[in-house]
């Protein structure tokens, strides 16, 4: 199409046309279980236990359980596969990757009181840590048999009463992608002849030109992460009460390429090659406490304040033989409050059982514009309240010491669905630059874990296996005429952690 536009690599600042949706917010705020091998081997049930680098990010009070200083690092091999079923057609995809989960330094500093008393502040520990909170990496392929519903139907519906003159490129005179009142999806539909205009009493309406059955295919390639860098402090009061806090800086880097294509009955077809990137940083504060009423029992609680993110999106689309300009949007996102309650039973010198309950108030997340004004996102924030569900995670884990040096571990965790599926449908603004109309409803996530570890006086090594099963429902666009697909993504993680004590 416009070769001069492509050569100039035009970037449009689209702060006037907010391109974010409720599903974008969910991707950034949905929690995951990730960390050291011991932590993952027990399904992350460490809130009341502490003494682990990844436990600090859940309950900072666990930092003071350390009795010696320590350096820890973790590597993770992820083997992922996905299976989809759409209109009775099954498709598979996979992705393998190697990542660095964490690095932490803990400085254990007993106070002078610990030399002569067991009352008061007995130790004051500090930590400097890096943790990968979440990995976005995955591949999905979703294929369908013949369908009577086409994305051109959605384009026609979405175009509404926009006039064709607003969608038609005029050389050296008018560029529809510069018109802030029209959606790019409509421009693409018009340029590719997928929709046609009808005018009645000077009012426009649109319909699809595709009058055959179509065979749709969707592929998704996601990469990126949420990383957290933390400074923590915790104090041990009389060996009965532990208090801690961390100041955290989070970094987001997300990239997605999704290709939606349709083959028409006559052999030709259409496609949308959507490209989206999101990057930015955020800040939050975690506060936690652990109480030890008796030697064998620990009770923990922690609060995570909302993370205040400053984010930038860039998106463009390849279609036919053309490419849209690149749109850029700056905005803020506040993640929800999170609460953690936990309990652990210490079985002498032989083992332990730990349980944890996490509650994330996802429905209270909120978008703001670059100036901190939430009114610019009234529709999206209302959608977050109605479409997203608060997420509850239940974790249980155990450890048994076979010898003084060798331990076995296992765990299970369940995370409820994050979307209210009766209401959760992708709502795009009528002038959006985004053309990725697809969305995934989140049904549930299950984790099954196991691991073992070997310890010496001044070093240790831990291994873990985690099986994560994510259940989702896929829609290519928001029309009642289109059938959904079932998507199940299985991730097998092999984790190794090396720690040095001094």
pLDDT value, residue 444: 97
Helices (H) and strands (E) in the chain, counts: 7, 22
pLDDT tens, 20-55? 999 999 999 998 999 999 999 999 999 999 999 999
User: What is the rounded distance in angstroms from the CA atom of residue 261 to the CA atom of residue 140?
Assistant: 14
Q: Is the pLDDT of residue 258 over 60?
A: yes
Q: Which tokens in the block code for residue 61?
A: 């009070």
Confidence of residue 9 (pLDDT cuts 50, 70, 90): very low
Mean pLDDT of the chain: 94
Q: Which residues contact 200 (CB under 8 A, 6 or more apart)?
A: none
326-334/366-369 β-pairing? antiparallel
CA distance from start to end of the chain = 65
Q: Select the more confidently predicted residue: 95 or 2.
A: 95
pLDDT tens, 316-372? 999 998 999 999 999 999 999 999 999 999 998 899 999 999 999 999 999 999 999
49 closest CA partner among 352, 449, 485, 493:
352
Of all residues in the chain, the percent with pLDDT exceeding 90 is 92
Q: Where are the beta strands (DSSP E) in 375-484?
A: 391-401, 406-416, 439-455, 459-475
pLDDT value, residue 266: 77
User: What is the rounded distance in angstroms from the CA atom of residue 200 to the CA atom of residue 197?
Assistant: 10
CA-to-CA dists, residue 100 to 52, 74, 123, angstroms: 17, 6, 31
Element (H, E) at 137: none
pLDDT value, residue 18: 62
- Listed range (9-23, 100-114, 233-247, 285-299) with the worst mean pLDDT: 9-23
User: What is the rounded distance in angstroms from the CA atom of residue 31 to the CA atom of residue 445?
Assistant: 11
User: What is the rounded distance in angstroms from the CA atom of residue 166 to the CA atom of residue 189?
Assistant: 13
Of all residues in the chain, the percent with pLDDT exceeding 70 is 96
Q: What is the DSSP letter of 162?
A: -
Q: Is the pLDDT of residue 62 over 60?
A: yes
Domains in the chain, please, with CATH? 18-150+214-501 (2.40.160.60), 152-209 (no CATH)
- Let me know: does 21 contact 31? Beta carbons within 8 Å: no
CA-to-CA dists, residue 409 to 45, 46, 425, 454, angstroms: 11, 12, 40, 12
Q: What is the DSSP letter of 374?
A: G
8 backbone dihedrals φ, ψ, rounded to 5°: -80, -10
Confidence of residue 8 (pLDDT cuts 50, 70, 90): very low
- The answer to whether the Cα torsion of 202, 204, 205, 207 is positive or negative is positive
Confidence of residue 267 (pLDDT cuts 50, 70, 90): confident
Q: Which residues contact 290 (CB under 8 A, 6 or more apart)?
A: 48, 50, 59, 61, 62, 65, 241, 242, 298, 299, 300
250 backbone dihedrals φ, ψ, rounded to 5°: -110, 145
User: What is the rounded distance in angstroms from the CA atom of residue 189 to the CA atom of residue 36?
Assistant: 48
- Let me know: does 250 contact 224? Beta carbons within 8 Å: no
pLDDT value, residue 3: 36
Element (H, E) at 23: helix 22-29
pLDDT tens, 194-215? 999 999 888 889 999 999 999 9
pLDDT tens, 418-453? 999 999 999 999 999 999 999 999 999 999 999 999
pLDDT value, residue 4: 36
Q: Is the pLDDT of residue 2 over 90?
A: no
| 3-state secondary structure (DSSP) of residue 458 | coil
pLDDT value, residue 17: 53
User: What is the rounded distance in angstroms from the CA atom of residue 52 to the CA atom of residue 66?
Assistant: 8
User: What is the rounded distance in angstroms from the CA atom of residue 340 to the CA atom of residue 450?
Assistant: 23
285 closest CA partner among 226, 356, 232:
232
pLDDT value, residue 84: 98
pLDDT tens, 170-195? 999 999 999 999 999 999 999 999 99
489 closest CA partner among 5, 32, 29, 4:
32
pLDDT value, residue 19: 83
| 3-state secondary structure (DSSP) of residue 213 | coil
Predicted model pTM: 0.93
């Amino acid at each position: 199409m416009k070769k001069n536009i492509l050569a100039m690599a035009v970037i449009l600042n689209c702060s006037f046309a907010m391109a974010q949706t409720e599903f974008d917010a969910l991707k950034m705020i949905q929690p995951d279980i990730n960390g050291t091998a011991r932590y993952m081997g027990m399904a992350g049930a460490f809130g009341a236990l502490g003494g682990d680098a990844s436990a600090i990010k859940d309950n900072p009070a666990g930092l003071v359980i350390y009795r010696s200083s320590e350096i820890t690092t973790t590597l993770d091999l992820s083997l992922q596969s996905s299976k989809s079923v759409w209109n009775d057609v099954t498709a598979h995809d996979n992705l393998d990757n190697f990542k660095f989960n964490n690095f932490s330094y803990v400085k254990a500093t007993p106070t002078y009181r610990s030399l002569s008393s067991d009352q008061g502040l007995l130790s004051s520990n500090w930590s400097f840590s890096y943790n990968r909170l979440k990995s976005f990496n995955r591949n999905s392929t979703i294929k369908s048999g013949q369908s009577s519903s086409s994305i051109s139907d959605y384009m026609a519906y979405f175009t509404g009463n926009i006039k064709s003159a607003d969608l038609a490129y005029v050389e050296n005179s008018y560029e529809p992608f510069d018109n802030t009142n029209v959606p790019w999806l409509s421009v693409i539909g018009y340029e590719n002849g997928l929709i046609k205009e009808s005018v009645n009493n000077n009012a426009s309406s649109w319909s699809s030109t595709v009058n055959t059955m179509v065979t749709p295919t969707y592929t998704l390639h996601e990469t990126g992460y949420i990383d957290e860098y933390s400074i923590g402090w915790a104090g041990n009061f009389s060996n009965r009460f532990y208090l801690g806090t961390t100041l955290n800086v989070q970094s987001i880097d997300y990239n997605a390429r999704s290709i939606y294509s349709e083959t028409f009955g006559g052999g030709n077809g259409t496609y949308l090659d959507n490209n989206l990137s999101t990057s930015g940083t955020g800040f939050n504060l975690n506060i936690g406490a652990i109480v030890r009423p008796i030697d064998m029992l620990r009770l923990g609680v922690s609060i995570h304040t909302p993370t205040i993110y400053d984010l930038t999106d860039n998106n463009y689309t390849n279609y036919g033989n053309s490419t849209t300009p690149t749109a850029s949007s700056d905005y803020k996102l506040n993640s929800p409050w999170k609460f953690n309650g936990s309990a652990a039973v210490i079985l002498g010198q032989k083992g332990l059982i730990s349980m944890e309950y996490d509650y994330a108030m996802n429905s209270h997340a909120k978008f703001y514009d670059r100036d901190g004004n939430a009114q610019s996102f009234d529709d999206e924030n209302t959608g977050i309240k109605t479409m997203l569900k608060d997420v509850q995670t239940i974790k249980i884990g155990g450890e048994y010491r076979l010898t003084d040096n060798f331990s076995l571990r296992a765990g299970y965790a369940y995370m409820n669905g994050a979307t209210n599926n009766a209401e959760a449908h992708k709502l795009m603004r009528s002038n959006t630059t985004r053309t990725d109309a697809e969305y995934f409803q989140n049904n549930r996530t299950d984790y099954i874990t196991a691991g073992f570890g070997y310890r010496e006086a001044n070093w240790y090594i831990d291994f873990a296996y985690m099986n994560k099963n994510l259940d989702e429902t896929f829609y290519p666009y928001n029309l009642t005429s289109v059938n959904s697909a079932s998507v199940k993504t299985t991730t097998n993680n092999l984790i190794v952690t090396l720690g040095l004590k001094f």
